[in-house]
A and B are shown apart, each in its own frame.
Chain A
Amino acid sequence: MIRKTILLLIFSVLLTSCVPYKQLEELGIINTRGVDKIENNQLETTIIAYQFDAQSPEITTTVFGIGNTIKGARENAGYNTNFELSPGQIRLELYGKETAEDGILEYLSTLVRDARVSDTMLVAVSNVTAKEVLTAGQEELMTDVGQLIQSLIEKEVQEYSIPKTSLQNYLRIESDIGQDPVVPLIGLRDKKPAIVGLAAFQNDRLVGELPIDQAFLINVFLTNTKDTPLEITLQREPLSDYIYNNVSDTYQADNPENEDQFTILVKVLKGQGDIKLKNIEDLHFEANIHLEVDLYETSELLSIKDEKIASILEEEMAKEFERQYNVLFAQLQEINSDPFGFGIIYRINKKDGELTDTEWREKFPNVTVDFNVNVDLMHYGTIQ
Chain B
Amino acid sequence: MEINVNVKSNLRIQAFYLFFIIVSMQIGVGILGVPRLIFSEAKQDSWISILMATVYIIIVLFVMLLTLKQYDNADIHGIHLDVFGKWLGKLFSTVYILYFAIALYSVLITYIEIVKVFVFPEVSNFVMGLILICLTIYGVLGGLRVIIGVSFVFGVLANWILFLLIHPALQIDLAHYLPLFQASFVDLLKGAMASSYTFMGFEILFLVYPFIHNKNKVSISSILAVTWSSLLVLAATMLAIGFFAAAQLERREWAVLVLFKTQSFPFVERFDYIVVAELMMVVAPSLLFLMWGLTYSIKRVYKVQQKTTLYITSALFLIGTFFFEKHFETQQVINFANQFGLWLIYVYPFVLLPFVLLKKRLNKRKGARSS
Task: List residues of A whose CB falls within 8 A of some B CB.
Answer: 15, 18-20, 88-89, 115-116, 118-120, 166, 168, 171-177, 341, 344-345, 347-353
Contacts and interface: CB of A to CB of B under 8 A. Distances in A.
Contact of A119 (B117, B119, B258): B258
B247 A175 contact: yes
A175 B247 CA distance: 6
Interface string B90-133: 00000000000000000000000000011111110001000100
A15 B123 CA distance: 12
B180 to A, nearest CB: 9
Contacts of B203: none
B248 A175 contact: yes
Given A172-B243, A348-B179, A353-B178, A19 B262 contact: no
Interface in B177-202: 178-179, 182
A348 B263 contact: no
B65 interface: no
B331 interface: no
A319 to B, nearest CB: 30
Interface of B: 44, 117-123, 127, 131, 173, 175-176, 178-179, 182, 243-248, 258, 261-264, 269-270, 272
A61 B272 CA distance: 29
A291 to B, nearest CB: 22
B272 A115 contact: yes
A118 B248 contact: no
B275 to A, nearest CB: 12
Contacts of A115: 117-118, 261, 272
A185 B175 CA distance: 28
25 contacts: A18-B123, A19-B120, A88-B270, A115-B261, A116-B118, A116-B119, A116-B121, A118-B261, A118-B264, A118-B270, A119-B258, A120-B264, A166-B262, A171-B245, A174-B245, A175-B246, A175-B247, A176-B173, A176-B247, A344-B175, A348-B179, A350-B179, A351-B179, A352-B182, A353-B44
Contact of B178 (A20, A116, A173, A348): A348
A375 to B, nearest CB: 26
Contacts of A352: 182
Nearest to B123: A19
Contact of A175 (B182, B245, B264, B270): B245
Given A20-B120, A115-B118, A172-B248, A15 B131 contact: yes
B175 A353 contact: no
Given A15-B131, A353-B178, A119 B262 contact: yes
A171 B264 contact: no
A350 B179 CA distance: 8
Given A116-B121, A175-B244, A348-B179, 6 more contacts: A18-B127, A118-B270, A175-B246, A176-B247, A341-B175, A344-B175
B122 A345 contact: no
Nearest to A109: B251
A13 to B, nearest CB: 15
B40 to A, nearest CB: 15
Nearest to B252: A112
B115 to A, nearest CB: 9
Contact of B179 (A120, A166, A353): A353
Given A172-B243, A353-B179, A18 B131 contact: yes
A115 B272 CA distance: 9
Contacts of B269: 89, 118
Nearest to A164: B171
Nearest to A354: B182
Contacts of B117: 115
Given A19-B123, A172-B244, A120 B262 contact: yes
A137 to B, nearest CB: 25
B175 A171 contact: no
Contact of A353 (B182, B243, B270): B182
B243 to A, nearest CB: 7
A220 to B, nearest CB: 16
A152 to B, nearest CB: 19
Contacts of A174: 245
A345 B175 contact: yes
Contacts of A348: 175, 178-179
B245 A172 contact: yes
B262 A20 contact: no
A115 B123 CA distance: 15
A176 B245 contact: yes
A119 B246 contact: no
A16 to B, nearest CB: 12
Nearest to B43: A353
Contacts of A175: 244-248
Nearest to A173: B245
A19 B120 CA distance: 7
Nearest to B181: A353
A8 to B, nearest CB: 12
A20 B122 contact: yes
A265 to B, nearest CB: 30
Contacts of B258: 119
Given A344-B175, A348-B178, A353-B179, A119 B123 contact: no
Contacts of A168: 261-262
Nearest to A351: B179
A176 B127 CA distance: 41
B344 to A, nearest CB: 33
**Ordered nearest first, which 10 A-B pairs have the shortest CB separation?**
A175-B245, A348-B178, A175-B247, A353-B179, A176-B245, A20-B122, A119-B261, A175-B248, A115-B118, A18-B127
Contacts of A171: 245, 248
A177 B175 CA distance: 11
B326 to A, nearest CB: 16
Nearest to B258: A119
A124 B123 CA distance: 34
A310 B117 CA distance: 59
A95 B305 CA distance: 64
A245 to B, nearest CB: 50
- Which of A88, A116, A349 has the most chain B CB atoms closer than 10 A to its own CB? A116
A343 to B, nearest CB: 10
Nearest to A353: B179
Contacts of A172: 173, 243-245, 248
